[in-house]
Structure 1
Amino acid sequence: MNTKILKTLEYDAVKAQVKPFLATVAGEKELLNLSPTADAQLMQQWLAETADAARVLRWQGGISIPKLADVKPHMKRLRIDAALSGTELAQVGRVLFTTGQIRSFFENLVADRGEGLPALAVYYNKLVLLPELTRRVNVAIDGDGRLNDEASSELHRIRQAITGTENAIRQKMQDYTRGKSAQYLSDPIVTIRNERYVLPVKATYRQKFGGVVHDQSQTGQTLYIEPADVVDMNNRLREYYLQERQEEERVLIELSAKLAPEADNIENNAQVLGHLDFLNAKARYAVAIKAIEPEFSAENHVRLLKARHPLLDPDKVVPNDITIGEDYSAIIVTGPNTGGKTITLKTLGLLQIMAQSGFFIPAAEYSSVGIFKEIFADIGDEQSIEQSLSTFSAHMVNIIDILSKMDKDSLVLFDELGAGTDPQEGAALAMAILDAVGETGAYSVATTHYPELKVYGYNRADTINASMEFDIDSLRPTYKFLIGVPGRSNALEIAKRLGLSDNIINSASALTSEDSQELNDMIADLVARRNAVLTQQVELTQKVVENRQLKNDYEAKLEAIDKQRAKTVEDAKKEANHIVADARRKTDKIIGDLHKMARDGATIKENKLMDAKGALNAMHEEPSATNNRILRKAKKAKQVPLSVGDTVLVREYGQQGTIVRQLKDHKFEVQMGILKMVLSGDEIEKQDKAPTNDPKPRKNKQRKTSHVNTNKATNRAEAAAKLDLRGVRYEPAMAELDRFIDQALLNNLSSVEIIHGKGTGAIRKGVQEYLRSHRQIESFKFTGPDQGATYVQFN
Structure 2
Amino acid sequence: MERVLRVLEYNKLKSQLQEHVSSSLGKQLIETLKPSTDLEEVKKHQAETSEGAQVLRLKGHVPLGGISDVRAHAKRAQIGGSLSASELISVASTIYGGRQLKKFIETMVEEEGIELPLLYDYATRIEPLTDIEREIKQCIDDNGHVLDSASAALRTIRQQIRSFESTVRSKLESITRSSSTQKMLSDAIVTIRNDRFVIPVKQEYRSAFGGIVHDQSASGATLFIEPQAIVTINNQLREAKIKETHEVERILVELSALVSEHAESILINMEQLAILDFIFTKANYAKRLKASAPRLNDKGFIKIKKARHPLLTDEEVVPIDVELGDSYRSLIITGPNTGGKTVTLKTVGLLTLMAQSGLHVPVEEESEMAVYQQIFADIGDEQSIEQSLSTFSSHMTNIVDIISKVDFQSLVLFDELGAGTDPTEGAALAISILDDVYNRGACVVATTHYSELKGYAYNREGAMNASVEFDVETLRPTYRLLIGVPGRSNAFAISRRLGLDERIIDRAKEQIDSESNQIENMIVSLETSQKSAETERNAANQVRKEAEQLKREIEEQLEQIEEQKERMLKEAEDKAKQAVEKAKEEAEFIIGELREMQKKGVQVKEHQIIDAKKHLEQAAPILTAKQKKVKKEAAKARAKHTIKVGDDVKVLSFGQKGHIIEKINETEFNVQIGIMKMKVKADDLQLLDKPKQQETRMIATVKGNDHHVKPELDLRGERYEDAMQKVEKYIDDALLAGYHQVSIIHGKGTGALRKGVKQLVKQHSRVKSARDGGMNEGGLGNTVIELK
TM-score interval for Structure 1 and Structure 2 normalised by the shorter chain:
0.7 to 0.9
Q: Quick one: distance in 1 between partners of 2:423 and 2:77?
A: 69
CA distance in 2, matches of 1:731, 1:674: 44
Counterpart position of 2:42: 43
Q: Deviations over 1:4-62 (max 9, x none)?
A: 10111111101101112212222111111110000000000000111111111112223
Q: Distance in 1 between matches of 2:289 and 2:37?
A: 25
Q: Is the 8 A contact 2:331 2:464 kept in 1?
A: yes
Q: Give how far 1:392 is off.
A: 0.5
Partner of 1:599: none
**2:203 is matched with which residue?**
203
Counterpart position of 1:355: 355
User: CA contact under 8 A between 2:63 and 2:104: conserved in structure 1?
Assistant: no
Deviation at 1:688, TM superposition (A): 7.7
| Residue 731 (structure 1) shift | 11
In the alignment, what sits opposite 2:468?
468
Q: Deviations over 1:245-301 (max 9, x none)?
A: 101111111111122122111111112111111111111111111111111135332
Partner of 1:83: 82
Which residue number corresponds to residue 422 of structure 1? Answer: 422
- Taking the aligned partners of 1:657 and 1:241, their CA distance within structure 2 comes to 110
CA distances 1:533-552 after superposition (whole Å, capped 9, x unpaired): 11112222222333444455
Contact 1:656 1:672 survives alignment (8 Å): no
- CA spacing shift, 1:265–1:447, aligned 2, 3 Å: same
Q: TM-score, normalised by structure 1?
A: 0.72
SS in 2 for 1:184: coil
Instruction: Note if contact 1:375-1:410 (Cα within 8 Å) is conserved in structure 2.
Output: yes
Equivalence map 1:140-151=2 (5 Å): 140-151=139-150
| Change over 3 Å in CA distance of 1:565–1:238 after alignment to 2 | farther
Contact 1:339 1:477 in 2 (8 A): yes
Shift of 1:240: 1.3
Give CA deviations for 1:529-568 in whole Å, capped at 9, x if unaligned: 1111111122222223334444555667788899999999
Structure 1 Cα separation of the partners of residues 471 and 561 of structure 2: 53
Note the alpha carbon deviations across 1:481-534, whole angstroms, 9 max, x for none.
111111111111111111111111000001111011111111111111111111
* 2:163 aligned with 1:154: no
Match of 1:312 in 2: 312
Aligned residue type for 2:75: K
Q: 5 Å matches for 1:86-125?
A: 86-125=85-124
Partner of 2:259: 259
- Residue 366 (structure 2) pairs with residue 366 (structure 1): yes
| Structure 1 equivalent of residue 493 of structure 2 | 493
Going from structure 1 to structure 2, the CA distance change for 1:650 and 1:422 (only over 3 Å counts) comes to closer
Cα deviation, residue 70, structure 1: 2.8
Is contact 1:331–1:464 with CA below 8 Å preserved after alignment? yes
In structure 2, what is the equivalent of residue 636 of structure 1? none
- Aligned match of 2:128: 129
In the alignment, does 2:517 pair up with 1:517?
yes
The separation in 2 between residues aligned to 1:259 and 1:346, in whole angstroms, is: 49
Cα distance in 2 between the residues matched to 1:172 and 1:479: 85
Change (3 A) 1:673 1:383: farther
Q: Is this contact kept in 1: 2:138–2:149, CA < 8 A?
A: yes
Cα distance in 1 for partners of 2:654, 2:435 equals 87
Cα distance in 2 for residues equivalent to 1:492 and 1:731: 87
Q: Aligned-pair distance for 1:163?
A: 2.3
Root mean square deviation of aligned Cα: 3.6
Say if 1:141 and 1:148, in contact at 8 Å, map to a contact too. yes
| Higher alpha-carbon Rg | 1
Matches within 5 A, 1:725-764: none
Where does 1:103-502 land on structure 2 (aligned, <5 Å)? 103-180=102-179, 181-502=181-502
Tell me, in whole angstroms, the C-alpha distance in 1 between the residues paired with 2:246 and 2:561.
81
Q: How many residues align structurally?
A: 616
CA distance in 1, matches of 2:344, 2:585: 92
Give the Cα separation in 2 of the matches to 1:153 and 1:349: 66
Matches of 1:272 and 1:365, distance apart in 2: 30
Distance 2:569 2:173 in 1: 89
SS at match of 1:113: coil
Please, what TM-score do these two structures have when normalized by structure 2? 0.73
Q: Are the structure 2 counterparts of residues 482 and 674 from structure 1 closer, same or farther at C-alpha, using a change threshold of 3 Å?
A: farther
- Match of 2:20? 21
Query: Are the counterparts in 1 of residues 186 and 200 from structure 2 also a CA contact under 8 Å?
Result: yes
**After superposition, where does 1:525-674 map in structure 2 within 5 Å?**
525-551=525-551, 622=579, 652-653=587-588
Structure 1: distance between partners of 2:394 and 2:527: 36
Please say which of residues 134-143 and 532-541 is displaced more in the overlay.
134-143
Whether contact under 8 Å (1:30, 1:278) holds in the other structure is yes
Measured in 2, the distance between the counterparts of 1:242 and 1:649 equals 106
Aligned partners of 1:50 and 1:463: how far apart in 2? 35
Q: Is the 8 Å Cα contact of residues 38 and 371 (structure 1) preserved in structure 2?
A: yes
SS of the residue 2:183 aligns to: helix
SS at match of 2:525: helix
The CA deviation at 1:152 is: 1.7
CA contact (8 A) 1:95 1:269 kept: no
In 2, the alpha carbon distance for the partners of 1:195 and 1:561 equals 94
1:71 Cα deviation after fit:
2.3
Native 8 Å contact 2:186 2:202 kept in 1? yes
Contact 2:427 2:452 in 1 (8 A): yes
Q: Give 1:368 shift.
A: 1.1
Please give the secondary structure, in 2, of the residue aligned with 1:280. helix
108 and 555 in structure 1: CA distance in 2 versus 1, 3 angstrom threshold: farther
Question: Aligned partner of 1:380: which letter?
Answer: G
Whole-Å Cα distance in 2 between the matches of residues 672 and 541 of structure 1? Answer: 89
1:127: how far off? 1.0
**Native 8 Å contact 1:651 1:685 kept in 2:** no
- SS for the counterpart of 1:128 is coil
- Is the alpha carbon distance of 1:546 and 1:145 closer, same or farther for their aligned partners in structure 2, counting shifts above 3 Å? same
**Unmatched 5+ residue regions in structure 2?**
595-599, 619-652, 656-703, 706-788
- What is the identity, as a one-letter code, of the residue corresponding to 1:476? R
For residues 243 and 230 of structure 1, the distance between their equivalents in structure 2, rounded to whole angstroms, comes to 20
Q: CA deviation at 1:64?
A: 1.7
- Return the letter of the residue paired with 1:496: R
The 1:208/1:507 distance shift into structure 2, 3 A limit, reads same
Separation in 2, partners of 1:673, 1:357: 104
The alignment partner of 2:262 has SS state of helix
Going from structure 1 to structure 2, the CA distance change for 1:116 and 1:540 (only over 3 Å counts) comes to: same
One-letter identity of the residue aligned with 2:215: D
2:489 maps to amino acid: S
- Matched-pair contact (CA < 8 Å) for 2:200–2:224: yes
* Structure 1 range deviating more: 289-298 or 7-16: 289-298
Q: Deviations over 1:661-702 (max 9, x none)?
A: xxxxxxxxxx9985589x9xx99862689xxxxxxxxxxxxx
1:444-492 Cα shifts (integer Å, max 9, x gaps): 0100111211111111111100000011121111000111111111111
Quote how far apart the aligned CAs of 1:122 are: 2.2
Separation in 2, partners of 1:555, 1:169? 93
Distance, in Å, in 2 between the alignment partners of 1:563 and 1:163 is: 86
- Give the corresponding residue for 1:663: none
| Aligned-partner Cα distance in 1 for 2:578–2:585 | 17
